[in-house]
């Protein structure tokens, strides 16, 4: 039997571990977990202008994952979703003017240091509506930032891209 921890449980464990690793030193460690991940942001047209449902495909070359975008209610509301066979998560929110903001958080695999020339630094996001019309897209080469703090047990890589 395989036990999977939810992302919030994993984040809570990371925060606890980071605070314990920093305990006993003169430095005050933050209670915010620093995760290795890439954040991808796209701006999508209003729901009324597309044929629902929309699908999203996110690729960290050569690995691709897909999901269905949920409807978003009122301005300021947000709807989360998961990508198939992946710990990657998405959040769709409504901005002023009924523009939808799609945020994808793609966790980085911890297989050693991030190599700046690694082909997995290439990300692609494609959003299609029910008629096959492209409603959003992003292609980006990520430059990762390395954040370390040995006293607090932080060693993470992050990057971001937006349309």
Greatest alpha-carbon pair distance for the chain in Å reads 59
Range 81-91 average pLDDT: 90
User: Within a domain: residue 31?
Assistant: no
Instruction: Please give the Cα distance from 100 to 45 (Å, whole number).
Output: 6
Residue bearing the bigger pLDDT, 25 or 47? 47
Instruction: Please give the Cα distance from 140 to 138 (Å, whole number).
Output: 6
Q: State residue 76 phi and psi, 5-degree precision.
A: 90, -15
Residue bearing the bigger pLDDT, 141 or 34? 141
User: Within a domain: residue 95?
Assistant: yes
Degrees, nearest 5: CA angle 146-150-153:
90
User: Within a domain: residue 25?
Assistant: no
User: Within a domain: residue 2?
Assistant: no
User: Within a domain: residue 10?
Assistant: no
User: Within a domain: residue 106?
Assistant: yes
Name the residue range of residue 114's domain: 37-162
Nearest to 70 by CA among 60, 80, 83, 58: 80
Q: What percent of the chain has pLDDT over 90?
A: 45
3-state secondary structure of 140: strand
User: Within a domain: residue 1?
Assistant: no
pLDDT digits (tens, 9 = 90+) for 101-128: 999 998 886 555 555 556 568 899 999 9
Cβ neighbours of 54 (radius 10 Å): 24
Q: List CB contacts of 155: < 8 A, sequence separation 6 or more.
A: 147, 148
3-state secondary structure of 95: coil
Assess whether pLDDT exceeds 60 at residue 4.
no
Nearest to 77 by CA among 103, 90, 95, 53: 95
pLDDT digits (tens, 9 = 90+) for 28-72: 777 666 678 899 999 999 999 999 999 999 998 788 999 999 999
**The total number of structural domains that make up the chain:** 1
Nearest to 26 by CA among 135, 152, 157: 152
Q: What is the pTM of this model?
A: 0.75
User: Within a domain: residue 131?
Assistant: yes
């Amino acid at each position: 039997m395989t036990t999977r921890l939810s992302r919030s449980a994993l984040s809570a464990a990371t925060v606890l571990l980071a605070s314990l690793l920093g305990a006993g030193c003169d430095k005050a460690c933050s209670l915010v977990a620093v995760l290795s991940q890439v954040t991808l942001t796209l701006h999508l047209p209003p729901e009324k202008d597309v044929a629902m449902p929309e699908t999203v495909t996110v690729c960290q070359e050569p690995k691709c994952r897909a999901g269905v975008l949920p409807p978003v209610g009122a301005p300021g509301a947000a709807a989360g979703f998961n990508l198939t066979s992946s710990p990657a998560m998405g959040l769709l929110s409504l901005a002023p003017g009924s523009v939808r903001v799609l945020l994808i958080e793609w966790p980085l695999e911890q297989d050693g240091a991030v190599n700046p020339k690694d082909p997995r630094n290439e990300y692609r996001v494609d959003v299609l509506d029910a008629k096959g019309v492209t409603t959003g897209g992003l292609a980006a080469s990520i430059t990762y930032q390395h954040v370390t703090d040995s006293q607090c047990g932080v060693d993470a890589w992050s990057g971001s891209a937006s349309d």
